[in-house]
Structure 1
């Protein structure tokens, strides 16, 4: 095992109540080699400030390094980007991938009803509303860290990480519909139907041959702008999805198929948006399949995070689902067991799911 390529992926718990977030770390290389040890570290989202502090400690003590080779911020929601400031301030970061919508402000002036908006005022409005992402940009520039915008086709380390979505065109369609943007002239189909109204929870029956998950799930434009990336290493593939929704994932599936990338033979899938039923559908899960599925969700996220009809759908397709709920989940390949860690228990199949 000592000379084999290896990796460890850690899903860190975020939040201790109903609110959660995403914070993922990866180390890969010849992790077990005594004579030819090599290692690279990737951070995908940082959760809250508190989880960012824990990520820093984890990288220093478990990965035994103070260097992060790449940070990916999937989208600008605070539960995904806040903790990244801790990582940037306390570790040596080489490269950051983050969308900065103000870079495209010139292209969107005609899309807003208020004709008094200028390119500069729109840029400042976006930076003020997305202040944490703006702070990440400023920190990166002050520390001379490489900044890139993650659109389809961007790669890292000769394809160890490949961005499968969003495309620039898809992102530009979503951007005028962001909550922080001025009122648009026209609403896109991707945002018009989305509602933040809370679901009334009622339970209905399911069985292995009866599926109630459907194609109607809707999520926000910000979620649909999430970076979807494929980690390919040591003969294994892992798909990270942020909070991407059904149209975003369908776009990824289409582009991946066109480029000859198979997504039905994954080592692992990161289930989007804490396992919400709004973000996946039967057709999506028929095309994106893995041996297991990992869900970052808060301690008190039930019944929506994760949704039982989503975890049932995963099991129905022979994917073992696991959730964080206050614990670190570690998926390893070609590495030894960690001291103090034990095997995680898969989520069971439920015969009653939320409507």
Structure 2
């Protein structure tokens, strides 16, 4: 176990921006080189700089909220041809998850996100890592002393993959008309409850947007509100399976979704989704979809229009 924790503490983080002083020094050196080697009178300046036009991505975005029982797993077919997977549900649903991915013809997962170390989110990821090629793996900077978590780290290590620490304001995808970025957790997060380390993601495709909240609870929601992030989304994956620990009124009002997805198991022992959460969604005329009632939920977007289970 000790070696595994050493492995996770060796997370590879995203490259940070160059410091201003360093940038100025580089510019100064380059400027001296130009002045020393070139007659300034020979430099040609013709007209105004022309901005290169970048064509927006075209195609269909499909977001699959997979029925993994009491847990989360979201498979995303991006319009640029890449694949993302957010969580893998519990170990008990691993076979069902792998069968679903096989049915979709998955061979490689470009972006794998383990929102936080609880078993109902990472249990099925061990099989995913063993059976598919993985591009980048994102996890929060927190460890958990469970066999499930250890097995996940071993699977990652055995395949020679590295883990990228997920931090608020980091960008995963930034293309014309398509973006995927992280809203939580903060780099200095220090929570008692692992749920609040959940990676929160926002996906934008042209004029449509999706918010994925993992099990982020009120404390994490409050931080995102304080930071002033753009939380607006057409489709909200309701936090913590519809528990009253999440989806505070202020947060929900800021997101202002048209649709809400709740991932939970049939007759689960936690009573998810809690009736208070269902009521506040209904009061706002938000259309609710639930994996315990609706099974697999597939949302399709062309960047302008959203449709379900087509």
Which bin holds the TM-score, normalised by the shorter protein? 0.7 to 0.9
Between the aligned partners of 2:160 and 2:266, the Cα distance in structure 1 is 38
Q: Cα distance 1:53–1:297, how it changes in 2: closer, same or farther (>3 A)? A: same
1:143 paired to 2:125: no
Between the aligned partners of 2:147 and 2:159, the Cα distance in structure 1 is 18
CA deviation string 1:20-40 (max 9, x = no partner): 1111111111xxxxxxxx511
Shift, 1:239, TM fit: 0.6
Say if 1:6 and 1:234, in contact at 8 Å, map to a contact too: no
Say if 2:66 and 2:291, in contact at 8 Å, map to a contact too: yes
Between the aligned partners of 2:158 and 2:167, the Cα distance in structure 1 is 24
Q: Comparing 301-310 with 142-151, which one deviates more in the overlay?
A: 301-310
Say if 2:140 and 2:185, in contact at 8 Å, map to a contact too: no
1:71 paired to 2:112: yes
Equivalent in the alignment of 2:298: 330
Give the alignment of 1:63-212 within 5 angstroms: 64-101=105-142, 129-158=145-174, 160-169=179-188, 171=189, 173-174=190-191, 177=192
SS of equivalent to 2:156: helix
Say if 1:100 and 1:133, in contact at 8 Å, map to a contact too: no
Say if 1:53 and 1:87, in contact at 8 Å, map to a contact too: no
The count of corresponding residues between Structure 1 and Structure 2 is: 249
Give the alignment of 1:1-355 within 5 angstroms: 4-15=58-69, 20-29=70-79, 38-62=80-104, 64-101=105-142, 129-158=145-174, 160-169=179-188, 171=189, 173-174=190-191, 177=192, 221-255=193-227, 257=228, 261-264=229-232, 266-301=233-268, 304-325=271-292, 327-334=295-302
Give the structure-1-normalised TM-score: 0.64
Between the aligned partners of 1:244 and 1:235, the Cα distance in structure 2 is 25
CA deviation string 1:234-254 (max 9, x = no partner): 332111111111110111122
CA deviation string 1:166-200 (max 9, x = no partner): 1022x2x21xx3xxxxxxxxxxxxxxxxxxxxxxx
SS of equivalent to 1:325: helix
Between the aligned partners of 1:97 and 1:14, the Cα distance in structure 2 is 21
Say if 1:5 and 1:234, in contact at 8 Å, map to a contact too: no
Q: Comparing 4-13 with 67-76, which one deviates more in the overlay?
A: 4-13
SS of equivalent to 2:87: strand
CA deviation string 1:205-236 (max 9, x = no partner): xxxxxxxxxxxxxxxx1111111111122332
Q: Which runs of 5+ in 2 are unaligned?
A: 1-56
Q: Which has the larger radius of gyration?
A: 2
Shift, 1:273, TM fit: 1.0
SS of equivalent to 1:59: helix
Between the aligned partners of 2:171 and 2:160, the Cα distance in structure 1 is 20
Say if 1:275 and 1:304, in contact at 8 Å, map to a contact too: no
Post-superposition, which runs of at least 4 consecutive aligned residues in structure 1 deviate over 4 A? none
Between the aligned partners of 1:65 and 1:234, the Cα distance in structure 2 is 25
Larger relative contact order (Cα-Cα within 8 Å, sequence gap ≥ 6): 1
Q: Which runs of 5+ in 1 are unaligned?
A: 30-37, 103-125, 178-220, 344-355
Equivalent in the alignment of 1:212: none
Between the aligned partners of 2:95 and 2:270, the Cα distance in structure 1 is 29
